[in-house]
Amino acid sequence: METDPIDVPLTEPQVYTLRIQSGQVFTPRTPISSRELFAGRWNEIQQLVDAVNEIGLHVVLYGERGVGKTSLANVIPIIFEVFDADLKPPRSAPRITVRSNATTSDTFSSIWEKVFDQISWTQDMPTMGFKPKPGVELITLRSAYGVVDRELTIEDVRRVLSGLPGSVFVIDEFDRLTRKHASQFADLIKALSDGAIETTIMLVGVAETVDGLVRDHASIPRAITQIRLKPMLLKELTEILFNAEKKLGIIFEQAAGERIAFMSQGRPHYTHLVGQLAVRAACDRASGVVRMADVTKGFEQAVKATDHMISKLYDDATYSSHKDALWKQVLLACAISAVTESDQNGYFTPVAVVAPLSAILKRTIEISTFNGHLADFCETKRGVLQRTGYPRAYRYRFCDPLVPPYVLMRGVSEGTITPDTLAEVMNSRGAFSIGPEPPS
């Protein structure tokens, strides 16, 4: 990114190509699958690598919706391919890394059936502890171990995994499983750890705590490393834009790139969405430089393109037939509080709302001005906040963590607050840490 880059005019074919390529580089609705487009998360990656290298240790990766858990899970095969290429001496056999999604209809057995059916061998490849049946060119893992056409037990899975040293199995959206089947995974992890089997299971899901993801796991605390994926740092979000610059051959004006990252508030989904729309706004000017005006257009279009469930939450929460109602202003102040003064679980206090709402309304206000709004936001009709605590000591948080950045963008696009005023209010409250430089 350059502070004041010289405009780069584009030809019509270049504009056409850039529009198409921007949809390949920026993927707001699809998790990242390419290492070269993945940004940040260096500490978490190191934790994952350390866990895989330690026999008997497994991984639980958890966090709020939209922080990039699936994107991290997607690049794990590429990460280990890079790490293993540098090993001296090299591994005796390629590492097997398989990822599968859990669904609400899945069982312990059905998940492992899907996983094992992704692995097969041909007769001219290493047998890895078993021999293919005579005359069969391709054999699946389940067939090789004789576990076809029946429910897989914990012992079946343990036996199969013991024959795949160094393998990594990623179960994404693990929170969709019922308690019964989640508990079977906990038992499996204990069995693998007790037997010092050189295989790693990684469970990925939406949860506030490990207890919320791996139920009845009291017997396995020493067998798992807990990795909580938090909202991304500003530096990590700007790295997404740096990577896009290199892939697309464009330039983000420094202020424009910082504004995108700032408004995303730790959610890579919004960085990808606004980044893509801002690039296409620059294409409308036949320019290879993305400027602040393009980002402003990107915000306006992002509000329209955001998931219907998010926009409906906002519309239901702020609807009023009275012109002077303060629903939008109070919700915007809540969003600012949620990303500046909330605790690790996203809860903020009414006191935290006072300063941002005063800045929005350009007058000093007291808690009594909006206390009724907070209560109504927690009711079914408006339903955008959750409340905990007791009277005079309530704390609030958004039901969906993807809502606050949307509220910020909508507040700017509708003129409820100017971008500069928003930045000033949030900077004064230490909105986001830049964080350390990622390794080159």
pLDDT band at 146; cut points 50, 70, 90:
confident
pLDDT band at 128; cut points 50, 70, 90:
very low
Q: What pTM, to 2 d.p., does this model score?
A: 0.74
- Find out whether 232 and 371 touch, Cβ atoms under 8 Å: no
Q: Report CA dihedral (422, 314, 343, 348) to the nearest 10 degrees.
A: 80
What burial class does residue 243 get, using C-beta atoms within 10 Å of its C-beta: 0-12 exposed, 13-18 middle, 19+ buried?
middle
Which CATH code fits 41-228? 3.40.50.300
- Find out whether 248 and 266 touch, Cβ atoms under 8 Å: no
What is the average pLDDT across 126-141?
A: 55
- The pLDDT value recorded for residue 436 is 35
CA dist 23 and 75 (Å) reads 19
Higher-pLDDT residue of 152, 434: 152
Cα angle value 403/407/408 (rounded, 5°): 120
Residue 401 DSSP symbol: T
Reported as a single tens digit per residue, the pLDDT across 189-227 is 989 999 999 999 999 988 766 666 666 566 677 788 888
- Find out whether 438 and 42 touch, Cβ atoms under 8 Å: yes
Reported as a single tens digit per residue, the pLDDT across 69-101 is 888 888 787 777 777 777 777 776 778 888 899
The domain locations on the chain are 12-28+233-305, 41-228, 308-427
Which CATH code fits 308-427? 1.10.10
- The pLDDT value recorded for residue 36 is 52
- Find out whether 194 and 50 touch, Cβ atoms under 8 Å: no
CA distances from 61 to 264, 337, 435 (A): 22, 27, 21
Q: Which of 119, 367, 419 is nearest to 262 (CA)?
A: 419
CB atoms within 10 A of CB 259: 23
- Find out whether 292 and 255 touch, Cβ atoms under 8 Å: yes
Tokens of 430: 């230490």
Q: Which amino acid is at 274?
A: V
Percent of the chain with pLDDT over 90: 41
Residue 36 DSSP symbol: G
Q: Which of 156, 153, 134 is nearest to 145 (CA)?
A: 156
The answer to whether the peptide bond before residue 401 is cis (omega within 30 degrees of 0) is no
Strand residue runs (E) in 176-296:
199-206, 224-228, 251-252, 289-290
Percent of the chain with pLDDT over 70: 87
Tokens of 370: 């909006």
Instruction: Tell me if residue 333 falls in helix, strand or coil.
Output: helix
CA dist 384 and 380 (Å) reads 8
Of 3.40.718.10, 3.40.190.10, 1.10.3720.10, 1.10.8.60, the CATH number of 12-28+233-305 is 1.10.8.60
- The pLDDT value recorded for residue 398 is 94
pLDDT over 60 (residue 437): no
CA dist 202 and 224 (Å) reads 9
Residue identified by tokens 């330690």 is 54
What is the average pLDDT across 320-330?
A: 90
pLDDT band at 420; cut points 50, 70, 90:
confident
Q: Which of 202, 188, 191 is nearest to 69 (CA)?
A: 202
pLDDT band at 440; cut points 50, 70, 90:
very low
